[in-house]
Structure 1
Amino acid sequence: MATTNRFGLRAALVGLALAVSGCATGAQSVDAPPTAPPLVFPPGSVYVAMGSSFAAGPGITTQVESAPQRCGRSNDNYPHQFSRLRQLLLIDVSCGGATTHNLLGPWNELPPQLDAVDAGTRLVTITIGGNDLGYIAGLFRASCAQQPCPDIPTPSETQYADVAARMDQIVAAIRSRAPEAHIVFVDYPKVLPPEGVCAAIPITEAQANVARDIARRLEEITAQVAARNGAYLLPASRISEGRDACAAEPWMNGARNPEPLDGVAYHIRYAGMEAIAKALDDLLPR
């Protein structure tokens, strides 16, 4: 069974059984926020997925034919996998390279991602913020073929504060357009190990530490925004611990992709998308 949404995207409504390790506990809880409305989105409900490449899934299996090629939107990213699990009508507007600005406003030929949300929307997932802070772009530059490579710039406190403020604006805009929608922030999975580097990550320890600090601050900001706005948080950063690009069974690619190719450098692999989709299914009661 297939359904066409108003943006010309299609979500295949089939069942899929997945497996994942347990979700995190503690400050970044995956429990429902106390202010969340009752969960009611039966099969066929409209689900809007927004965010950057860590939602879009460039290079994973096949790409969505109707999507802009530059977005790298996979048919097997976590939004597509989750929508198949729950038989939801998916409107996936995630796009590689997107920033918080591109959720709130147009990006060249692309309309604001928020334009996909309307009164009929029942679920919205958001993975955003890394491109605002130069997180993955910094890793790419630091992994250049000829040494010495550029250092990874450290974001200013103003940049961090601005990202948080725009995330608040995104939630407010969703609530204004879709009062009955449930909002889930899905943060970024771990790209780097907690310390050290490996052959898959050809950067210095100092550069890795800068990238780790950016990732940590973004995790904190995402959790804080979710908490103060009564949104859900799915801490992919927690469930992906031990599955970084240096792990024996990674959910992430390093600069040197393993064979066969599964996603793009410094991005999430199919297994990571599968795990996030299952964690999302576990998070949201039926």
Structure 2
Amino acid sequence: MAEVNNNLSVTFWGTRGSIACPGPDTIRYGGNTSCLEVMCGNKRLIFDGGTGLPNLGRKIMTEPVPSELPVDLLLTHTHLDHIVGIPFFAPLHIPGNQVRLWAGHLLPNRTLKQTLSDMMAPPLFPIPPEIFQADVAFHDFEPQSPPDVGDGIKIRTAPLNHPNGATGYRVDFAGKSVCYITDTEHVPGRPDQNILDLVQDADLIIYDSTYTDEEFDRFVGFGHSTWSEGVRLADAANVGRLVVFHHDPSHNDVFMDGIAAEVEKVRPGTIVAKEGETLTL
């Protein structure tokens, strides 16, 4: 009898927000925009399709044993930094592959397929989504009706406070849980109840920490949060471990080292996301 794989892991393929910033000053924490690979046993979930997604696609194409199909790509939202890698995701161009794309923030006015078609259209892009050779399905959902991806995986979602909307995710698998909460702006002094309810007692929360508290006031309305608010939420919700994520492109490795030192003082064991790093629960 084959051994049951109940591992839950997260690999960071893109940790930045807003715009990719590869270069000598962003080597340790990474310069690609948001993309996570979550493995629930042999089932792969991908969260966001930023500039880190093509690298994940190339890795998938070299795997000797394919993951269970279909591959699910779940988007927090469709701002450019979170979807620009999708046209370059190699598995979409291989006949026989099955890829499902999900979005929970566009209804009732738009659909995911319409939005990606708008991005992949002249004069912005030379080829439409119809170029994909894989079996591709586009799914739009409401936060109260989250995706059902099967394989014993439970997904819950909640709306986030971000311009044009965004979705937070919680994945529960084999008694372990990880939450992905990015592109959300907090209200100072008032925890977001939607987020608190979603992440309560989770093992791991990956949280939008674009700004420091000192920077935050200058960017109210941009739709992002701080690592300090992440600490407050994690403490209030009894979260096991916090991951600082969605680094501002102006924050180089030296700056991020400073954040890592500060957050370690406040909440020991907190991780500052690094591109290429894998966390196994």
TM-score relative to the length of structure 1: 0.35
Structure with the bigger percentage of helix:
1
Higher strand share: 2
TM-score of the pair, normalised by structure 2: 0.35
Higher relative contact order (CA 8 A, sep 6+): 1
